[in-house]
Amino acid sequence: MKKLVSAIAFGIMAASAAPSQAADSYHFKFTSANYAGEQVYEVQKKWTDNIKAVSNGRITIDLLPLDAVVKPADSLMAVRNNIIQGGMLSSAHFSGVDKGFGLIGDTLGAWTGDEDILKFYYAGGGFEVVDKIFQEQGVKLIGVQLTGAESIPSKIKIEKVDDWKGVKVRAPSGPVQQLFEKMGATPVNLPGSEIYSALDKGIIDAADFSTFSNNQAQGVNDIAKFPIYPGIHSSPTVHIFMGLKQWNAIDENDQKFLLAYFRGLALDTLLIPHMADEVAYKKAVANGATPVAWSTEERTKVRKLAREIWEDIASQSKIGATYLDALKSYYVATGRE
């Protein structure tokens, strides 16, 4: 962890030494997959707003909230066609283009913790592999960030895989729903805005949704008093990318600056949500919630089921297979298999 933080901190220092030699200036519009006011969006916006100051006024980025210009599923095409110049969202939204993007964006059960994602990308070769995949789609990967540790609020106590049988759980479409089905649950696809009322009315028993602190802020933990935390299938990865043509038109020093700058954002998205979760956890317990932490044995069962999904996707997608090979190499290097 110390090496990871030191590497990212070096990136922040490098980024603060903004390039001043080139005469060009750049104005970009990026889209987020989060609404204004959400923790993830606010951290993103702090960094996109601040880039003007640290680049001596030469680079500005307007961050647009969810659906302000395009829907997340359409953002890859929109960036490639220069409708907008960049995005800050998980590649899982592009699974309609290729199933492999779903695996890249949400590698269920792959990570031992959020910092593991950053180690894979920034120290384990993951960045280079995913960047190559992105460039083949006409976009350039310039950074990754985290959403915070997942939490699964539940109205019933769920302590092991077998407890999911018959449970109605809100889950986004794709591999996550497949995982819950493998555990015997009944996935329900609902927008985040309907989760509170669906839990309150008994339409669902649990919800795969957001961080502990965000759920606490929305009052979800007050009605679903047995939140599983930390979650059981690990967090998605947020990818920061630009159109490849726009990237290639940028001065080389500015390219280096942007890559270093967004490494700093990665550190913020590791620390801020975790701190907020610790504060929210204390409040939730004081209000009568009973968080549930799964055993290593049960988490291992989840990972085994998740790996079946990885292999299935990789068998259908060259992109997925390329990514999975890189992930397995990371596992071998770190002694996990």
Q: How many domains does the chain have?
A: 1
More confident residue, 6 or 188: 188
- The whole-number pLDDT of residue 17 equals 41
Which pTM value belongs to this model?
Answer: 0.88
The per-residue pLDDT for range 91-138, each reduced to its tens digit, is 999 999 999 999 999 999 999 899 999 999 999 999 999 999 999 999
Residue range 36-58: mean pLDDT, rounded: 95
Answer whether residue 33 is part of any domain. Answer: yes
The per-residue pLDDT for range 273-290, each reduced to its tens digit, is 999 999 999 999 999 999
- The whole-number pLDDT of residue 149 equals 86
- The whole-number pLDDT of residue 9 equals 45
230 upstream amide cis, omega within 30 of 0: yes
Answer whether residue 119 is part of any domain. Answer: yes
3-class SS string, the chain: CHHHHHHHHHHHHHHHCCCCCCCCCEEEEEEECCCCCCHHHHHHHHHHHHHHHHCCCCEEEEEECCCCCCCHHHHHHHHHCCCCCEEEECHHHHCCCCHHHHHHHCCCCCCCCHHHHHHHHHCCCHHHHHHHHHHCCCEEEEEEEECCCECECECCCCCCHHHHCCCEEECCCCHHHHHHHHCCCEEECCCHHHHHHHHHCCCCCEECCCEHHHHHHCCHHHHCCCCECCCCCCCCEEEEEEEHHHHHCCCHHHHHHHHHHHHHHHHHHHHHHHHHHHHHHHHHHHCCCCCECCCHHHHHHHHHHHHHHHHHHHHHCHHHHHHHHHHHHHHHHCCCC
The per-residue pLDDT for range 170-186, each reduced to its tens digit, is 998 788 999 999 999 99
What does the alpha-carbon distance between residue 166 and residue 146 come to, in Å, rounded to a whole number? 31
pLDDT confidence band for 19 (50 / 70 / 90): very low
- The whole-number pLDDT of residue 91 equals 96
Range of the domain at 64: 2-147+235-277
| Confidence check: pLDDT of 6 > 80 | no
| Confidence check: pLDDT of 209 > 80 | yes
Residue range 308-332: mean pLDDT, rounded: 97
Residue range 49-75: mean pLDDT, rounded: 96
- The whole-number pLDDT of residue 172 equals 84
Residue range 189-207: mean pLDDT, rounded: 94
Answer whether residue 319 is part of any domain. Answer: no
Residue 100: CATH number of its domain: 3.40.190.170
Answer whether residue 227 is part of any domain. Answer: no
What does the alpha-carbon distance between residue 273 and residue 276 come to, in Å, rounded to a whole number? 5
Answer whether residue 318 is part of any domain. Answer: no
Residue range 204-223: mean pLDDT, rounded: 94
| Confidence check: pLDDT of 11 > 70 | no
| Confidence check: pLDDT of 16 > 50 | no
- The whole-number pLDDT of residue 217 equals 93
The per-residue pLDDT for range 139-166, each reduced to its tens digit, is 999 999 999 888 999 999 999 999 999 9
Average pLDDT, the chain: 92
Answer whether residue 98 is part of any domain. Answer: yes
Answer whether residue 260 is part of any domain. Answer: yes
Answer whether residue 92 is part of any domain. Answer: yes
What does the alpha-carbon distance between residue 66 and residue 222 come to, in Å, rounded to a whole number? 27
What does the alpha-carbon distance between residue 241 and residue 147 come to, in Å, rounded to a whole number? 16
| Confidence check: pLDDT of 12 > 60 | no
- The whole-number pLDDT of residue 4 equals 52
| Confidence check: pLDDT of 5 > 90 | no
- The whole-number pLDDT of residue 274 equals 93
